Chains A and B, each alone.
Chain A
C-alpha cells in the first residue's frame, strides 16, 4: 500500500449508517471506495453528467436534508450518506412523430403534470440547481419552449421524482417537452435542408471520390493550402 498522506486529518463519515474515517479532500464517491465499497450501482460517468450517483445526505445535528452528486460533492465531517441508485418513476410511451407540440399533448401524455403542488421540494433537491418548480409551472401553462429551456441542463438523476409529494416524474415530462421543442418548434435550418438536397442529388460524390483516390502527397499538398475561416 502507498503511504497515506491524508491519514492524520481523516474525518468520520457514515455510509449506510456505518462510520468510516476518510481523507477530507475526497468526493463522496471516492470516499466510498476508500471505505471499501466497490461501486456497481450509483456510479457512471464520474464526471457530473450521467446522473447515476444521486445522493442524499445529512450532517450530524443538522435537521436539513441535502442532495448532491457523489462524484462532485466533497465529504464533510459527520456526513450521513445514502445513494439513490434506482427509482421507479413513471414514464409514458409515445411516438414522437405522431404528437403535436401543444399543451394538450403534455396533459394527455402526462396527466399527472396538473397535479403539481408547486411546493418546490424538487427545486431544493436538484443537484444541477435547476428551478424544477418553475419548469413544471411552465408545463402547466402549456409553455413547451420555456419548459424545454429551463430544464435543459437536467441529467435525469431522479432526485426530483424521489422527493415529489405529488408523485411527479418531472424529468420524464421535461424530456418530452424538449423533444417536442426540438422536433416541432425550433426554427428550421435552411442551410441544412439545402445541403441535404445537394447530397441527395449526389453533388459531392465525384469530389469525394477524387479525394479518396489521392496519394498521401497530393492530400498533404491540398491540406497545406486550406484557408482557415475566421472564428465567430
Chain B
C-alpha cells in the first residue's frame, strides 16, 4: 500500500516505470562553470534581499542573513556591573557546549592535566552531532591519501578554505578514526576488518566511514560515556548555556556567565582558558527555511565571541542540505542523509527523470533541486504547497541486494515507516533544508582565534570548509578541532596568569550599539527558538512576527 496521497500516484508510477532504465544511466556531473551558474541563479546565499551587513563589531560590514545580523546586534542578557566575585564554579578549562566538539575538547584537556568544567544548554549530547547520520571522512585506504582528501575539501569549498585548516583536517583524520575506535566506537566493517567506505557528494574516493546511519549518535554517545567516566576531573553542568564571555584585565578569556535555565539564575564560571563549541544557528531559520538542526542551535557562540572581540568569517554562506524531508508535513525539513545518494538512490523529477548528478557538492545539488522545482516546474507539490523532488530509495536494494536499505539506513527506514511510507518500496519526497553554518568565528590551526585564551571547535568556527562543507567533514571537524582545542586550552591554562575578571567589553558593546544608532528589542543569545502556540511549519517569518507581537 502506498504511503502517499492519490494526487502523487501518477508521478510515483512514472518513477517506478523509469527505475530499471535509470539503473544503467548516470547523469553527467557539472563543470566548475556550470556549478557557478546554478549557484548564482538559485542558491539562497545569493538572494540579496535576505542578506545585510552587520553594523557593529570588529567584522562590521560583513554580509550575512538578516536573522543572524539581528541576533549579533542584540543587547546582552547582563550588564557590566554583574557580580563576578563569587564564581559558581572554577576550572582550568571551561568548555561551552556539550556536543561532539565540546566532549572531544573536554577529554583532551583532561588528558593534558586540566580540571575541566563543561556547560551545555540542554542535556549533554543534545547537539547536531547526535543527528549526523551519514558518516565521517578519513583517507585511510591505499587508493586514497590525505592529499586527495585535501583537494576534494578545497574544491568543494570553492577554493576559499583556509589552507592550514584543511591540512589539519585531512592530516588528523585517520588518527581520529583510530581514537574513536579506541574509545569503543563501532564502525561498519567487513569481516576481515576493512572499513566499509562510501562516496559522499564531492568526494573523488570512497572515504565515508559510517556506523549504520547512526554515525553521529554513535560518536556522541561514546564520547559522552567517556566524559562521564572521567568525573570529577570533568564536571558537566547541563541546562546552563553561556550568555556572555568574561575577559580579564589583559583582554584574555577568563570564563563565562551562564544561566540556569530552570531557575533563571545567572552565575560566573571562572576559568584560565575557554573552549567555545556551541555549534550553529539553524533554529534562526534563515530565509524562512525549515532546519535539520537540534532545538538549541541558535548561534550563541558566534554572538558571545563576537561581542568579546573575536573576528568572524564566511557567514554569508549557509549550507542548505539538498535532501530535507518535504513530505509528510510532520517531519518537514528533517534530514534525509546523503548516504541515501551515496548508496545509489537518484534524485528524479515528477516525470521520473534524472536532472542532476546525484553527488554534486551540497550547495550545487541543493541549487539544482530549487531550479528543478521553481524554474522548470518539474517538482512535485504537496497539498500544503511544499515543492519537492523524488529521491529514489528503492534503487538501493536493486543495486546492492535486498535488505541493504534496512541494514544500512535503519534510522531512515524507521523515520518514514512511522508515517506509513516504506522507503524500500517507494521514494522519498525531498527539498533543501537549512543544515549547517559554513562560517563562524575565524579559526586557526591550533584551534585558537584572535581572542587570547579562547579556543574554538566545530560549527561555531569558520574557515575549514570555505563556502561549502562536504558531507562527512563535520563529524571530522568536531573531533579534529575539538581535540586540538582541548590540548591548546590545557596548555594555555597551564601558563596563564589571569588578571581580575571583568565585563567591561559588555559596556563597550552597548556604547557601540548606541553610537551606530542600532535600535533593537533582541536580547541575545536568544538560547531557544519560540514555537509556542503555532501549528505545523517552523519558520523564521513567524518567529519574527511573534517577537514583534510580544514587544521585546
Q: Is A63 an interface residue (CB 8 A)?
A: no
How far is B415's CA from A153's CA once the two chains are assembled, in angstroms?
Answer: 12
Contacts of A148 in B (CB 8 A): 186
How far is B528's CA from A41's CA once the two chains are assembled, in angstroms?
Answer: 12
A interface residues, tally (CB under 8 Å): 79
How far is B185's CA from A114's CA once the two chains are assembled, in angstroms?
Answer: 25
Are B140 and A191 interface neighbours, CB within 8 A? yes
Q: In B338-385, which residues have CB < 8 Å from any A CB?
A: 342, 344
Task: Identify the closest chain A residue to B170 (Cβ).
Answer: A208
Q: Is B24 an interface residue (CB 8 A)?
A: no
B142 to nearest A CB, angstroms? 6
How far is B190's CA from A232's CA once the two chains are assembled, in angstroms?
Answer: 13
How far is B193's CA from A91's CA once the two chains are assembled, in angstroms?
Answer: 31
- Encode B403-422 as 1/0 by CB contact (under 8 A) with A: 00000001100110011000
B361 to nearest A CB, angstroms? 11
Contacts of B7 in A (CB 8 A): none
Are A232 and B167 interface neighbours, CB within 8 A? no
Q: Is B530 an interface residue (CB 8 A)?
A: yes
A137 to nearest B CB, angstroms? 20
Are A46 and B535 interface neighbours, CB within 8 A? no
How far is B32's CA from A73's CA once the two chains are assembled, in angstroms?
Answer: 43
Q: In A109-161, which residues have CB < 8 Å from any B CB?
A: 128-129, 148, 152-153, 155-156
A56 to nearest B CB, angstroms? 17
Q: Is A16 an interface residue (CB 8 A)?
A: no
Are B542 and A2 interface neighbours, CB within 8 A? yes
How far is B351's CA from A116's CA once the two chains are assembled, in angstroms?
Answer: 55
Contacts of A232 in B (CB 8 A): 196-199, 206, 400
Are A95 and B229 interface neighbours, CB within 8 A? yes
Q: Is B214 an interface residue (CB 8 A)?
A: yes
B interface residues, tally (CB under 8 Å): 95
Are A153 and B411 interface neighbours, CB within 8 A? yes
Are B229 and A96 interface neighbours, CB within 8 A? yes
- Encode B63-89 as 1/0 by CB contact (under 8 A) with A: 000000000000000000000000000
Q: Is A50 an interface residue (CB 8 A)?
A: yes
Task: Identify the closest chain B residue to A154 (Cβ).
Answer: B221
Are B193 and A181 interface neighbours, CB within 8 A? no
Are B536 and A30 interface neighbours, CB within 8 A? yes
Are B411 and A49 interface neighbours, CB within 8 A? yes
Are B147 and A34 interface neighbours, CB within 8 A? no
Task: Identify the closest chain A residue to B334 (Cβ).
Answer: A47
Contact of A34 among B150, B239, B331, B535 (CB under 8 A): B535
Stretch at the interface among A76-84, A162-170, A211-219: A211-219
Contacts of B204 in A (CB 8 A): 226-229
Q: Is A18 an interface residue (CB 8 A)?
A: no
Task: Identify the closest chain B residue to A74 (Cβ).
Answer: B330
Contacts of A186 in B (CB 8 A): 181, 186-187, 189, 193
A192 to nearest B CB, angstroms? 5
How far is B531's CA from A72's CA once the two chains are assembled, in angstroms?
Answer: 17
Contact of A191 among B141, B187, B198, B414 (CB under 8 A): B141
Contacts of B190 in A (CB 8 A): 187
Contacts of A39 in B (CB 8 A): 295, 531
B411 to nearest A CB, angstroms? 7
Q: Is A189 an interface residue (CB 8 A)?
A: yes
How far is B535's CA from A179's CA once the two chains are assembled, in angstroms?
Answer: 41
Q: Is A201 an interface residue (CB 8 A)?
A: no
Contact of A43 among B128, B183, B189, B295 (CB under 8 A): B295
Contact of A152 among B171, B186, B197, B342 (CB under 8 A): B186
Contacts of B528 in A (CB 8 A): 38, 40
Q: A182-B185, A208-B171 are in contact. Are A192 and B126 (CB under 8 A)?
A: no
Contacts of A220 in B (CB 8 A): 32, 155, 159
Contact of A73 among B182, B185, B418 (CB under 8 A): B418
Q: Is B453 an interface residue (CB 8 A)?
A: no
How far is B204's CA from A213's CA once the two chains are assembled, in angstroms?
Answer: 22
Q: Is A60 an interface residue (CB 8 A)?
A: no
Are B126 and A52 interface neighbours, CB within 8 A? yes
How far is B527's CA from A38's CA once the two chains are assembled, in angstroms?
Answer: 12
Contacts of A175 in B (CB 8 A): 221-222, 225
How far is B186's CA from A190's CA once the two chains are assembled, in angstroms?
Answer: 16
Are B159 and A30 interface neighbours, CB within 8 A? no
Q: In A69-108, which residues have CB < 8 Å from any B CB?
A: 72-74, 91, 93-96
**A38-B530, A199-B146, A208-B170 given. 18 additional CB < 8 A pairs?**
A34-B534, A36-B532, A45-B130, A47-B294, A49-B217, A74-B419, A152-B214, A182-B222, A187-B190, A187-B192, A191-B194, A195-B140, A204-B145, A207-B145, A212-B163, A229-B199, A229-B204, A231-B344
- Interface residue ranges, A against B (CB under 8 Å): 2, 4, 6, 22-23, 25-27, 30, 33-41, 43-50, 52, 72-74, 91, 93-96, 128-129, 148, 152-153, 155-156, 175, 178-183, 186-196, 199, 204, 207-208, 211-213, 216, 219-220, 222-224, 226-229, 231-232
20 A-B pairs in the complex with CB atoms less than 8 angstroms apart: A25-B329, A30-B535, A33-B533, A36-B533, A38-B528, A47-B131, A49-B130, A52-B123, A72-B415, A95-B229, A152-B214, A153-B410, A182-B184, A189-B189, A191-B194, A192-B178, A196-B178, A211-B147, A211-B163, A220-B32
